Structure 1
């Protein structure tokens, strides 16, 4: 008798459980489809929405009415230039729709916060001094002031923070802030009585550059340069995290084993050369070019392995443009395939783009509404 060999067992720890789709899940998904179309493309008629989402007109009519009642949408009048038949009534995102509170912990020596609308506009902005070792009340106080600064309904609070952040909003490790296994989202939710979602600053900034900026979400690598250095990677529209939630932690790649001590405990991490405080100590173009070459050497295997075409440096332009940026480009050109080097763009995103703030708001928008 032929023996049938059992297939080797494989770990399923990283897979999502399969369960029955509930009616409430379907309704949430359909609402998200409608909001996504209106956020991305502007005002639409109900017939437009039915055609673009493949939902029935009855479903569209029902959900649009619900979203209007909840303050997300408004009727905006008829489409201009319509002459034949009954003119279509357009619906769009309400100018008084719910907003988010966004916090940015990535900057050198400061905490920034804002009230952000559904399409990424910052309506209110504040900042306060914040350094390693400062009391958590600095964060909760700023969030409370921002909550009180808007009369509109608040969907929740989004936070972009340096370090490794798990899906629940716990900061597993953030050497520059001195945090380890700190339940940032839970602590702030208890203090402010709103839903709170936290993510790695570079990851949320990469999402913002794709959602609100000019980033190529097919393959984008965004490097945040502030009090520390981080990297966010988008591939085919999705942010990479990995099972360790540490995807993009390029700041703690060792580039000089004999270099300065890093907050993480290693010596000579990229961050000890590239973080904003370190760059401010450099007085010559040659010194900045050397740092750019180190950064380029760290980025090259990431760009080559993942096939990334868009590399964005997000930080103080006065420290990054010129010798450092040129050196990054040259290092990539020398160390990767000519085919890749000819197609990769390396560019700066100015701090005025507020990518961590708007990315933190986008995180809330996705978690609460399903809109990317």
Structure 2
């Protein structure tokens, strides 16, 4: 299977500078048509020609091929508004295929879902997170088999959001929480199910969902807080993965010189030791002043984010995780700290907000990965 089918790197991939072959041009035009329909909904072939800038004969050929492949359907005629034959509307066959998404970031359970091409969840399943690292992969396989069996229509692909550092082939280079190092999760799932699989870090998947379904801008960071802390980055609408696929791994950045709690990685005062849900919940339970605990955690988050905002000139920060912990005092303290520690003329307007899709954001991000890789839309 081609590498582009194996990882999330293909999402909004940058164009190469080589010779454009006819099959590449056709694939690009096909993606233009599907993107237009995905964004705007049903339209006529003439509308598509105007929207994409492609010739009408090209549009007719592409639409005919997409209908034959089951990705586009005719929706009937547009209501007549003048003389002449009413136009026939076409749209993505949103119910003709399903996407399977897996979210492996939960502290208590792994969650899988069947999603429509529009990112809506139509079926959901979960399995407990095993205590024994040796049983984690089998739990994932059990979950994905159950979800695939519940799709009932052809599956476009499988997207997986997982903790850890994931390379461009869907290999998990390091996921200490699972005891994984060099685990080819994409390859294992493809061999098991015979379907295209894309795997990404859970925060990198989440930021794609925030951009596609949450209306976020093109330059942002999404901080995912759960059993650990990670971040997904977009610059110019492109996902930023880094030279070693570890962009956004902010959980083990030391956020103070005043000591702090011990981290599972062996260091003292990592952001994750202050902000991860288990650690933060434990400190809140032991403190007579919960608001002070939340503001302190928010300040530590702001310390970690300020240089990233300054270096990349980001316009917004989205927080994904338990709203009762991250919203309010914590988010306010993070925003205040970022503003204090960055150039005021450029970054006073940086937004810090809760994601609108926190509960299902990784699942929906997994759907975006598949849509982009298989249909060229996002």
Partner of 1:10: none
Partner of 2:239: 239
**How many residue pairs align between the two structures?**
357
Contact preservation (8 Å) 1:259, 1:267: yes
Partners of 2:212 and 2:299 lie apart in 1 by 30
The alpha carbon displacement at 1:184 in A equals 1.2
SS in 2 for 1:231: strand
The alpha carbon displacement at 1:91 in A equals 0.3
Partners of 2:264 and 2:215 lie apart in 1 by 33
Contact preservation (8 Å) 1:159, 1:360: yes
Alpha-carbon RMSD across the aligned residues, in angstroms, is 1.9
Partner of 1:313: 319
Contact preservation (8 Å) 2:261, 2:273: yes
Partner of 1:226: 226
Partner of 1:282: 283
Distance 1:182 1:265, change over 3 A: farther
Partner of 1:6: none
Partner of 1:347: 353
Deviations 1:109-129 (A, max 9, x none): 221111112221112112221
Deviations 1:340-371 (A, max 9, x none): 34311100125555111111111111112221
Gaps of 5+ in 1: 1-14
TM-score normalised by length of structure 2: 0.89
Deviations 1:160-191 (A, max 9, x none): 11111111001111222221111111111112
Partners of 1:303 and 1:352 lie apart in 2 by 22
Partner of 1:156: 157
Partners of 1:129 and 1:290 lie apart in 2 by 32
SS in 2 for 1:171: strand
The answer as to 2:119 corresponding to 1:113 is no
Partner of 1:338: 344
The answer to which structure, 1 or 2, has the higher relative contact order (CA under 8 A, 6+ apart) is 2
Distance 1:366 1:147, change over 3 A: same
The alpha carbon displacement at 1:282 in A equals 2.4
The answer as to 2:307 corresponding to 1:301 is yes
Partner of 2:5: none
Give the 5 Å matches for 1:85-96.
85-96=84-95
Gaps of 5+ in 2: 1-13, 285-289
Deviations 1:73-119 (A, max 9, x none): 11111222422211111101124222210001122222111111222
Partners of 1:239 and 1:17 lie apart in 2 by 16
Moved more, 28-37 or 345-354: 345-354
Partners of 2:94 and 2:293 lie apart in 1 by 49
Give the 5 Å matches for 1:114-193.
114-131=113-130, 133=133, 134-193=135-194
